[in-house]
Structures are given as C-alpha cells and as structure tokens.
Amino acid sequence: MDEFIKDLTSARFWVGVVAVGIVINLVSPLLQKALARSSSGLLSYWRSRSRFQQQIQDALIQRFRASEHEQVMAAIAGLRHLVRAVFAFGLAVSVVVVPRVAIPDRIHALSLEMGLVRGVTNVLAAYFLGLMVRRLGHAATIRQALMAARRDQKRAESESESE
C-alpha cells in the first residue's frame, strides 16, 4: 500500500497521466469520425433488416388470413421449432455437464487434454445455444404472425356482424 501511495505522489506518474491525456485528446476526433461512420453503416443495415423482416411478417399474416389450414400448419411448425429449441438446450447442457461428470479424476491431471475437451465442449454448447435461439426466433415470428392474422379475422368478423 505504501508503494502505491508513493507511486501516486511521484512526478513520473503525473507526467504519464498528462501524456496519456494529451494522446487521448489528439486521437479522440479521429475515433469519433470512424465511430460515426461505422455506426451509421450499422444503423442503415439494421433498418433495412427490420424492413425485410416486416415484409416477411406481413406476407405471413396475409397467408394466414387466407386459409385456416395454413394457420393450423403454422401452429404445428411453431411447436416443432419450440421442441427443437428445447432439444438444442438439452444438448448444450449435456455437452457441458457430461464431460465434467463422466471423466475420471486421474484424467484431470492431464491439463492439455482437459483444456482441449473443455474448449470443444464450450464450442459445441455455444453452437447448440445458437440453434436454440434461432429456433425460438422462428417460433416467435410464426406466433406473432398467427396472432395478428387471428386479430384481423376477429376484427373483420365483428365489423361484418355490426353492419
């Protein structure tokens, strides 16, 4: 603790702080321009991606509005996506847990092999979790389109009954 306080009160420390401050002030305008360029590109990509997803959603809603059979088949597809998401989560958990439980203690001494096993299991777990998130996204898209189509159908029915 005394060394830290001694370093904190030294002139060398404060000269370094001032030098780093000057460098940050000189570099910050350049970083700000680069950050603005990259963030505007990212935002335009996100806007176009959102527009594309909205078009897909609108097409699904139109398709579901047209046919009750399509709604039933889409509900089944949504359930299939949910089941696959749960299965992918189970695979991710088992890939992480099984090697840690099933490998005997004497093998733990071989750190290189264990590092390789842990690395592979972590990559597999990440892959399966990615599959899970993707399946959940598909299921959510189908569910939202089904709900919107049913809402529109009910609204159309209530308007036709009121006339």
Mean pLDDT of 100-111: 59
How far is Cα 46 from Cα 33, in angstroms, rounded to an integer? Answer: 20
> Which pLDDT score, from 0 to 100, does residue 95 have?
82
Mean pLDDT of 123-138: 91
How far is Cα 146 from Cα 52, in angstroms, rounded to an integer? Answer: 18
Q: What is the pLDDT of residues 49-78, one digit of tens each?
A: 788 888 888 888 888 888 889 889 999 999
Mean pLDDT of 144-158: 89
